[in-house]
Structure 1
Amino acid sequence: MRHRDRRKEIGKALVDIGKYSFTAGIIGSIITEKWSPAVIAMCAVISIIAFIIGFYTIPQNKEDKL
C-alpha cells in the first residue's frame, strides 16, 4: 500500500472516530437520562480533535493543488 493510500485510510478512520465518539456521548447521555455537561463537552472536544486531525491527514487530490 502506498504512503498516500495509508494517509487517506488513517484520515478516514480518524473522521469516523470523531463521528462515533460524538454519537456515543450523545446517545449515552440520552439512555442514562443524565445530561452531564462535562461528559458531553469531553465527547465534543475528542470528536473535534479527531475530525480535524483526520481532515488534515487525508491528502489532497493532485488536481486540487494547482
Structure 2
Amino acid sequence: MKGTDRSCIARVTRIAECASFEELLDAEGPSHVNPEASSEEQLANIRRIYPRDKEGLGCPAIGIELVD
C-alpha cells in the first residue's frame, strides 16, 4: 500500500482499452476508478500525469481482485 511497507497479492481479472480518459471514466464509472473523487477531479489528476499526446497511445483499464 502506498506510503507503507504493506503489500498484497492481487489477480488481474480483465484488461480493456479505451481511446480516451473520458471514455475510460464513462465506461468504468468514476467510483470504480477512485471513489473519493468526482469524474472531473479524476480527469484533471490524470491529465496532470499523462498529457494529451500520451493519452493518444490508449488508456488501459485493468480490473483486479485481492487474493486471500
TM-score for both structures, normalised by structure 1: 0.26
Rg comparison, structure with higher value? 1
Give the number of the structure whose residues are more often helix, by fraction. Answer: 1
Give the number of the structure whose residues are more often strand, by fraction. Answer: 2
